[in-house]
Structures are given as C-alpha cells and as structure tokens.
Amino acid sequence: MNALIMALDSIWEKKGRSFLTMLGIIIGVTAVLVLVALVAGYNADVTAYYEKLGVNKVEVEVTWYDPTRSTDLTDDLARYVNDDLGQLTQGVTPSHTLSATVRHGGESAEEVTVSLGGTQWDVCGNYTLDRGRGILDYDIENASPVCVIGSYLTQTFFPYSDPIGQTVTVNGHALTVVGTLYQKDGSQEDSMDNCLWTPYTLDRVLLGSAYVTRYTVKVDKSRDMDQVMTALERYFAQTVSDRLGEVELENGNAAMSESTSEMTSMSVVLGGVAAIALLVGGIGIMNIMLVTVTERTREIGIKKSIGAPKWEIVTQFLIEAAILSSLGGLAGIALGYLLAAVLGQAMYGVVSFPGALVTVGAFLFSAAIGILFGLYPAVKAAGLQPVDALRSE
C-alpha cells in the first residue's frame, strides 16, 4: 500500500519522464494493433468483393476459328448443365457483357454493365430479384425487348416511381423494364449494382452480330468445382471439334485463392514490421527505464540509509514499472483501435479491429519488457551498499 502510494507519487512527480516511458509502449502497441487491423481489413475487403462477385463459377469461352461455321451451343449447354450436372450446379448462362450508356427521360447512366444473359443469369451472377420478374424462356425465344435493372439504375431513374413497365434505352434501343435487382454492392456508379440484364437473343440488336461465345456455370459447392470442370471439358471436347474452334475453361475460385495467398504473404511481411515496431518500442522502454533507475540511484541510497529494506525498494520500482507499462499498454490499445477504425474506414470502408489475442499479446509483451527492464536496474541498485548508492549523483 505504502509502496503503491510512493510509486504513484513518483510517477506524478516526473510526469514528463513517465510519459516518455509510456510513449515507447504506446507506439509499440499501437503499431502492432493498427498493422494487424489493416491486414484484417484488407482481408475482409477482398473476401467481401469475391463474395459479392459470387464464388464457385466456371467461366467458359468458346473461340470459333471461322465464325460462319459456328454453332449456337447455348440451349445444348443449358440442357447438359441442368440435366446431367443438375445435382452439382445451380445454373448456366451466356455471359457476354458490354459497357453502354442507359437513358430514361432526361437522366442517363454511364458505363452500365449490360449483360446478355439467359434465364439463370441472376443466379450465376449472384444477384437477387427484387421487384417484377426475371428474364424468362419466352423473352429469350421471342427476343423480347425487356430488361431487369440493377439497383443503381433503379435509384437513378426511378427514385419515386415504379420502374416496372417503364422504358429505358440502351445505346438508343428501347427496352421495357420488367424487374429490378436487389442492391448488393453499395449502389454506386462504379459498383456491381450499375448493371442491366437483358435476353441474350437481343445480341443482334445490341451488338449488331450474334456473339454468344461466353458462358458462366454456377457450381453449387466449391468441392464440386473440379468434378464439374472435368465434366465440362469432356462435354466441350465432344461438341466443339478441334478443327473448328477451341474452348477455354477458367475456375473462378482460383482468382480468389490467388488473392488470398498474396494476402497471406503480405500479413507475414507486415507481421514482421509490427514485430520490429514492438521491439523498437521495447528498446525505448528499456532505455528510459535504465536511465530512470540510474538517475534515481541516489534516492535509493537515501532510502536505504534510513532503513528501507531491499524488497521494499524493489517493490516500489516494480509497481511503478507495472503502472507505467499497463497505462502505456492501455493507451496504446485505445490509440490502436482508434487508428484502426479511422484508417480502416478510410482505406477499405470497413472497420475491423485487431483480435483479442493480438491485443492481449502486444499488451503483455510491452508490459513484460517495461517491468523487466524497470526492475532489473532497480534490483541492482537496491543491492548496492547504501554509501555507494548515495555517492551516485
């Protein structure tokens, strides 16, 4: 109790020095927490992007050597995927896109991703129908001039009215809106919500040529990806002769795992940087503690000369070091969380905090360094003959 009061007194007495001691800990802990939080934020950002984009997709591109000898595979592929691979897949759609300007009344939306899709385009693209209906077989067969619009277009053109039955123009071609999609990516101009879904049979109208050579197959579970890829390879080997064209299959999950592994190696590098920050912070603590005790050797001498037991002096320094280290650690945690929130919001729009394990670990590490290096010289000084301690100036 006595030692506690003395420790508090002494901390308060030397506010500046106490703050400097804490600064090392604050910087160390803050650096670690912020770095860890930013890696986690990047992680969440990438994962969220791929989740919105939709996982478990096989992208197919057919290249015909001579377009005049091409075959329309769409119906046959849809039959194969939905019947033969029905257990493993959720759907298949043509997936040709173009970037177009869409207009309604006086408003216009630039760089809208217009997808020439089939009836399962929404499922394959990870979209959900909000109002109205999707594109149906009837629309495909008759090449109906209809479309389903993304939430950005809904908000831009029809903030206060019902979009169903209204007309929008895509590159000058009028399409009737039959449905709308739920927002999935923030409804900004550069988001995935700036999109429009229209029957692929409108390709001659919108593109001026028949151009259905790209498909997306949505697989139900990621563990079935390889099996579906193999089945599709076999299917295309039979349907597209080597002499007429070639088929390329791409596993959509590969791109994500690439990003993930990139992120993992980045975390290792940043983890190293954080460890160095903590170490430098630790050295700072060590230095200031050494200086503090050295300059207070005289005080230790005075106390010893008036009868202070060695353990009492050591206890006082221990309490001081513990208080400074924990205050510094707590301040570091507070600052770290604050910076993590601010930077995370600014960089990724996601606030992610470092995990409890990292927080506690960084705190304990710097506290341990503070206490160890605060205590070691104190123990040494307290072991001196009082006259030697008194002599130090």
CB of 353 to other proteins, least distance (A): 39
Nearest distance in Å: CB 285, other proteins = 22
Question: How far is residue 120 from each of residues 117, 129, 227, measured CA to CA in Å?
Answer: 8, 11, 21
Asked if 302 touches other proteins (CB under 8 A), the answer is: yes
387 part of the interface to other proteins, by CB under 8 A: yes
Asked if 309 interacts with other proteins (CB under 8 A), we say yes
36: how many CB neighbours lie within 10 A of its CB?
25
Residues 178/199, Cβ–Cβ less than 8 Å: no
As a whole number of angstroms, the distance between CA 362 and CA 31 comes to 10
Q: Does 21 bind other proteins (CB under 8 A)?
A: no
Q: How far is the CB of 295 from other proteins (least distance, A)?
A: 12
**Any contact of residue 386 with other proteins (CB under 8 A)?**
yes
Q: Three-state SS for 24?
A: helix
Q: Give the integer Cα–Cα distance in Å for 160 and 154.
A: 10
Figure out which of the listed residues 88, 244, 280, 308 binds other proteins, where binding follows CB under 8 A: 308
Q: CA end-to-end span of the chain, whole Å?
A: 29
Residues 46, 313 contacting (CB under 8 angstroms)? no
CB of 322 to other proteins, least distance (A): 18
Q: How far is the CB of 42 from other proteins (least distance, A)?
A: 48
| Euclidean distance between CA atoms 97 and 100, whole angstroms | 9
* Adjacent-strand bridge partners of 195: 113
User: Is 57 an interacting residue with respect to other proteins (CB under 8 A)?
Assistant: no
- Residue 378: CB minimum distance to other proteins, A: 16
Task: Mark the segment that binds other proteins (CB under 8 A) among 39-47, 61-69, 220-228, 302-310.
Answer: 302-310
Interface segment toward other proteins; rule CB under 8 A; list 133-141, 170-178, 207-215, 301-309: 301-309
392 contacts other proteins (rule: CB under 8 A): no
List the one residue out of 255, 250, 256 whose CA is nearest residue 229. 250
Q: Within 10 A of 341 (CB to CB), how many other CB atoms are there? A: 16
DSSP string, 356-378: HHHHHHHHHHHHHHHHHHHHHHH
Instruction: Choose one: 113-121, 248-256, 262-270, 297-305; the region binding other proteins (CB under 8 A).
Output: 297-305
Token code pair at residue 130 = 């909000």
SS (H, E, C) 323-342: HHHHHHHHHHHHHHHHHHHH
| Residue 2 contacts other proteins per CB under 8 A | yes
- State the binding string over 330-369 for other proteins (x if CB under 8 A, else -): ----------------------------------------
Report if residue 310 touches other proteins, rule: CB under 8 A.
yes
Write down the least CB distance from residue 8 to other proteins, Å.
10
Minimum CB distance to other proteins, residue 308 (Å): 5
DSSP 192-258: TTSEEEEEGGGHHHHTSS----EEEEEESSGGGHHHHHHHHHHHHHHHS-TTTEEEEEEEHHHHHHH
Among 66, 161, 172, 306, binds other proteins (CB under 8 A): 306
Cβ closest to other proteins, residue 99 vs residue 294? 294
State in angstroms the smallest separation of the CB of 15 from other proteins.
Answer: 12
Question: Is position 380 an interface residue for other proteins (rule: CB under 8 A)?
Answer: no
- The angle formed by the CA atoms of residues 112, 115 and 120, to the nearest 5 degrees, is 140
379 binds other proteins (CB under 8 A): no
Residue 307 engages other proteins in binding (rule: CB under 8 A): yes
Q: How far apart are CA 353 and CA 336, in angstroms?
A: 9
CB of 5 vs other proteins, minimal distance in Å:
9
Piece of the chain touching other proteins by CB under 8 A; list 24-32, 83-91, 332-340, 378-386: 378-386
Strand positions, DSSP E, 106-208:
107-117, 129-132, 146-149, 167-170, 173-181, 195-199
Is 16 a binding residue for other proteins by CB under 8 A? The answer is: no
The window from 17-25, 87-95, 270-278, 305-313 that contacts other proteins (CB under 8 A) reads 305-313
Question: Do the beta carbons of residue 58 and residue 232 sit within 8 Å?
Answer: yes
What residues line the site for other proteins (CB under 8 A)? 2, 9-10, 13-14, 299, 301-310, 312, 383, 385-388, 390
